[in-house]
A and B are shown apart, each in its own frame.
Chain A
Amino acid sequence: MTPIITLAKKELRGLLYSPGGYIFSGLMAGLAIWLFSNDLFLLGQADVSPLVSTMSYLLTLFVPAVAMGIIAEEKKNGTWENLMTWPVSEWQIVAGKFLGYGVFLILSLGLIVPIMASLVMLGFSEIGLLFSNFLMLVLLSWCFLGVTLVASSLSSQPMVALAGSIIFLLVNSLLGNGSITSRLDPNIQNVLTQLSLSWRAQRLGSGLIELGNLWFLLTFLLGCLIVTTLIIKSRNK
């Protein structure tokens, strides 16, 4: 476990000591508050669902922006060669990096807790629902991080990883958008919707924990970590 924890600490330290992490987190929280406030005053209703919907889209941009260099930056700087020749296995590198960034995402999402608290003050009484939505956002951001890990392992250019992840995540989000897929055959539409991470996550955040959705997101995340490990192994051949 030690190499994983050590790598996670290195990644977390890098994010906490650099202005980039704070800028992106602040920007995400600021946009979330602004967009949510607009919805709140427009609807005149203390409801968590507009916040969750807004956050799903913001995370699509925010997570790849923060994590695009997770592997690509190391390749670009040459430190990857050091890391790969130290006695640490590929899966430990992937796990350590994921853990460091994963903790940072929890801390960043903590910035929207005041918005959730303000909902409670405005009369929203379902604390359990708020909690499940927060957990859902954490899980969704981890899945997005998994996608960014895969993209970052495929390139030594962080911007390429950023573009690749955002395109994948936006297309994946659109699959769950009924107004986009409505012209398709209902069976195909249903299959495409089921593949959408955001749609699955929003179902989880509705307060009803469906194991199928939970398993889908967890399996997707695990799949991304395994694929990244395999890419790293195959790329050095």
Chain B
Amino acid sequence: MMELELIGLTKVFGAKKAVDQVSLVIELKGVVGLLGPNGAGKTTLMRMITGYLNPSEGEIRLNNEKVDTRVTSYKSIIGYLPENNPLYTNLTVGEFLVMAAEIKGLKNAKTEVLKVASECGLDQVLGQKIETMSRGYKQRVGLAGAIMGSPKLLILDEPTSGLDPNQIVEIRKLIEKLAKKRGVILSTHILPEAKQVCSRLLIISQGKIVMDAETRDVKNLEKKFVDLTSK
């Protein structure tokens, strides 16, 4: 089983420590929930794991080997859905997915696109422009782009934010389906969602991990969350 190890990961913006000495081991299986209030450091931590940001201090190890998160060989094991799901909305779903497949260096791009589209329930809308789609479908497109190339770790930054209740249920089911083949790190504000989807829960507050526990061992998550993050 592959594992990702964060050792003393710290990110400083000016005088503010957005992430402060985070050390974790994440097995690339199941869903790890990253919970925390706004500005706690969730997105910054995820961005460092994806290689979008360089840590100010600390390192990331993959299977006990230090990795440079900027190199393409590392990036190819990570699939990332950023917050607000930015997409090239002038493209059709098919064009976007073919582009993602080609950039990720997949040899049979079109076959991969059909496979991923089917997995994410997009096979009927491949010719539709992204800008004309509902928010729920756009989220599916973002997820499809993220899992293109079968990454070992999927990082989802608030994937259900802004969706209506039906769309939330659909996307949640899709995440559970995708997590069967890979590890997932999921940040969310919705505590019941985290309890339902995640096998492990992390709470981050003021850049520090203040709770790390198996979901089944956590009783009264709401109270714990408030106690740990309202200082």
Answer yes or no: do A and B interact.
yes
Minimum distance in angstroms from B93 CB to a CB of chain A = 15
- Selecting from B51-59, B203-211, B219-227, the interface stretch reads B51-59
Q: Beta-carbon contacts of B100-132 to A below 8 Å, as 1s and 0s? A: 101111000000000000000000000000000
Check B87–A79 contact: CB distance below 8 A: yes
The tally of residues in B whose CB lies under 8 Å from a CB in A reads 29
Given the contacts A2-B102, A78-B84, A85 and B50 also touching, CB distance less than 8 Å: yes
Check B86–A10 contact: CB distance below 8 A: no
| A89 CB-CB contact with B under 8 Å | yes
Check A88–B86 contact: CB distance below 8 A: no
Q: Complex Cα distance A81/B86, Å? A: 8
Output the nearest chain A residue to B86 by Cβ-Cβ distance. A78
- For A79, give its contact among B50, B86, B103 (CB under 8 Å): B86
Check B103–A236 contact: CB distance below 8 A: no
Q: Which residues of A contact B105 (CB under 8 A)?
A: 2-3, 87
| B80 CB-CB contact with A under 8 Å | yes
Output the nearest chain A residue to B157 by Cβ-Cβ distance. A81
| A130 CB-CB contact with B under 8 Å | no
Check B82–A78 contact: CB distance below 8 A: yes
- Selecting from B18-26, B71-79, B176-184, B189-197, the interface stretch reads B71-79
Interface of A is mostly: helix
Check B145–A236 contact: CB distance below 8 A: no
Output the nearest chain B residue to A76 by Cβ-Cβ distance. B86
Q: Complex Cα distance A17/B54, Å? A: 36
| A183 CB-CB contact with B under 8 Å | no
Check B52–A236 contact: CB distance below 8 A: yes
| A122 CB-CB contact with B under 8 Å | no
List A199-226 residues whose CB lies under 8 Å from chain B.
Answer: none
Q: Which residues of B contact A3 (CB under 8 A)?
A: 102-103, 105
Q: Which residues of A contact B99 (CB under 8 A)?
A: 6, 10
Q: Beta-carbon contacts of A141-177 to B below 8 Å, as 1s and 0s? A: 0000000000000000000000000000000000000
Given the contacts A85-B75, A87-B73, A6 and B102 also touching, CB distance less than 8 Å: yes
Minimum distance in angstroms from B114 CB to a CB of chain A = 18
Q: Which residues of B contact A80 (CB under 8 A)?
A: 86
Output the nearest chain A residue to B78 by Cβ-Cβ distance. A85
Check B51–A85 contact: CB distance below 8 A: yes
Q: Which residues of A contact B104 (CB under 8 A)?
A: 86-87
Check A237–B54 contact: CB distance below 8 A: yes
| A18 CB-CB contact with B under 8 Å | yes
Check A82–B86 contact: CB distance below 8 A: yes
| B161 CB-CB contact with A under 8 Å | no
Check A18–B90 contact: CB distance below 8 A: yes
Minimum distance in angstroms from A105 CB to a CB of chain B = 20
Given the contacts A2-B102, A3-B105, A17 and B76 also touching, CB distance less than 8 Å: no
Q: Which residues of A contact B82 (CB under 8 A)?
A: 78, 81-82, 85
| A191 CB-CB contact with B under 8 Å | no
Minimum distance in angstroms from A38 CB to a CB of chain B = 38
Q: Which residues of B contact A18 (CB under 8 A)?
A: 90
Minimum distance in angstroms from A167 CB to a CB of chain B = 29
Check A10–B76 contact: CB distance below 8 A: no
- B residues near A (Cβ < 8 Å) are 47, 50-54, 70, 72-73, 75-76, 78, 80, 82, 84, 86-88, 90-91, 95, 99-100, 102-105, 145, 149
Which 3 residue pairs are nearest across A and B when measured between Cβ atoms? Answer: A78-B86, A87-B72, A6-B102
- A residues near B (Cβ < 8 Å) are 2-3, 5-7, 10, 13-14, 17-18, 77-82, 84-89, 233, 236-237
